[in-house]
Structure 1
Amino acid sequence: MSLDLWLMFLVASVGLSLTPGPNGLLSLTHGARFGLGRTAFTALGAGVGFLVLIAASLAGLGALMAASEQAFTIAKWIGGGYLICLGIRLWRAPAPVIGVVDDAAPALGRDAQGARLFAQGFTVAVSNPKVLIFFAAFLPQFMTPGLGFWPHLLILGGTFVTIEVAYELLLAGTAHRLSPWLAKGGRWFNRVTGTTFIGVGGLLATAGRA
């Protein structure tokens, strides 16, 4: 892959990462509730999830999803249902202890466990079949003929995931710095973000493949 082509992909990846989405919202929420250190697990989970989607797109699953209405419908209902359940859970959660969470402190219950945060980041990333279809349409523009699956996954996947993880950590750090103000309406913070997840899940569940 030429340097010019990679630089074009780098710029495009930055633009894609800056597009608002469920993973950015999740990192923002976790950053406010648990701090930057713990939200690193969320961002890493999202990074692994996006890497899986890129690998699936390179393997042809994205094209298959775009061609099969039944497969796409099943995937979008599963993904939308997960986001709605996540939103309901967040809506019902008690007001978080925001603004006093120390990243070096012991885990604050099950919700703050690293494995749980990683799993949420990963699941939200892979729960949207439209992202898989998008990668299937987007990645071929930057692929080099003759370059195999693994080099493409390493270069394209590694570049995009690095940018996405860095962006989510930036969101988490910003939210954590704003946490003293968010703490004044902790319960409403949960409800606003919970409602947003429910809305995104509903839109995903009713979305078409285009």
Structure 2
Amino acid sequence: MPDLPHLLAFIAAGWLLNLTPGPDVLYVVTNSLRSGARAGIVAGLGITTGCFVHIFAAAIGVGTLMATSVGAFTVLKYIGAAYLLYLGVRMLMSRATPPADLDAAAAAVSGERSLKAIFVGGFWTNVLNPKVALFFLAFVPQFIAPGTGNTALAFVLLGVLFNLNAIPVNVGWALAAGWMARRSAVRKGMHWLDRAAGVLFIGFGLKLAFTDAPAAVRVGR
């Protein structure tokens, strides 16, 4: 494990990286705008759970396979891109909800089934993105002290710390977006916000679809 200064640097870097807008942040914000902060927090917890999959997979070698196999990277890349495109198209085709009905819609989403769907959506948004696995493989080892006996355990502990540190960031995004959703101007323009989010999700999907495999993979092909 790193010493205290390196550990604090690891935490600070993690917060900065989690503040960077991407598919995960957009998923949290979109659900908060449409259904309130509670839905956004649940979305963030789904994303956090998905991150745990990448952490433990990297620790046991699956992440390394992703980073060294063109086939494995490509399959997951296209599945993830298709899922992001699906989310984007669904938002683009969603019907406008009158401002007077938004409170009723938010109350409906508080049901167990709807929150479960939001959680599962966040989970798959993260798990199906191979760039998350590659990120953990590239970022976390930089903070493992040379000569560490059990590097796999150190990797898991740092990965878990990074993931837990992301929770308050996601909650912050959810609360901020939930607060915005209560403003009358935002509520009136919610339909256009859905459209904008749909375009962004499609953009993320296309970007992922056209992402090249890591250089190490292409060289070793």
The answer to whether the 8 Å contact 2:48/2:167 transfers is yes
Opposite residue 21 of structure 2, the aligned amino acid is: P
Which deviates more from structure 2 when the two are superposed, residues 120-129 or residues 79-88? 120-129
Partner of residue 195 from structure 1, selected from 199, 213, 218 = 199
Partner of residue 101 from structure 1, selected from 100, 103, 119 = 103
Partner of 1:175: 177
Q: Deviation per CA, 1:179-209, whole angstroms, max 9, x where unpaired?
A: 1222112221111101110111011011112
Unaligned ranges ≥5, structure 1? none
Following superposition, the deviation at residue 146 of structure 1 comes to: 1.3
Q: Which runs of 4+ in 1 moved over 3 A?
A: 96-110, 147-152
Partner of 2:166: 164
Distance in 1, matches of 2:52 and 2:202, equals 25
The structure that has the greater radius of gyration is 2
Partner of 2:143: 142
Following superposition, the deviation at residue 124 of structure 1 comes to: 0.7
Opposite residue 130 of structure 2, the aligned amino acid is: P
Distance in 1, matches of 2:38 and 2:177, equals 12
Following superposition, the deviation at residue 117 of structure 1 comes to: 0.7
How many corresponding residue pairs?
208
Opposite residue 133 of structure 2, the aligned amino acid is: L
Identity of aligned residues (%): 36
Partner of 2:122: 121
Alignment of 1:2-81 (within 5 A): 2-81=3-82
Q: Deviation per CA, 1:142-166, whole angstroms, max 9, x where unpaired?
A: 124113534542x312321122221
Instruction: Quote the RMSD (CA, aligned, Å).
Output: 2.4
The answer to whether the 8 Å contact 2:52/2:163 transfers is yes
Distance in 2, matches of 1:103 and 1:140, equals 44
Partner of 1:206: 210
Distance in 2, matches of 1:51 and 1:206, equals 26
Following superposition, the deviation at residue 70 of structure 1 comes to: 1.1
SS in 2 for 1:113: helix
Q: Deviation per CA, 1:72-124, whole angstroms, max 9, x where unpaired?
A: 111100000000001111111122466953899453679x7111011011111
Unaligned ranges ≥5, structure 2? 215-221
Distance in 2, matches of 1:193 and 1:98, equals 18
Opposite residue 146 of structure 1, the aligned amino acid is: G
Distance in 2, matches of 1:129 and 1:13, equals 18
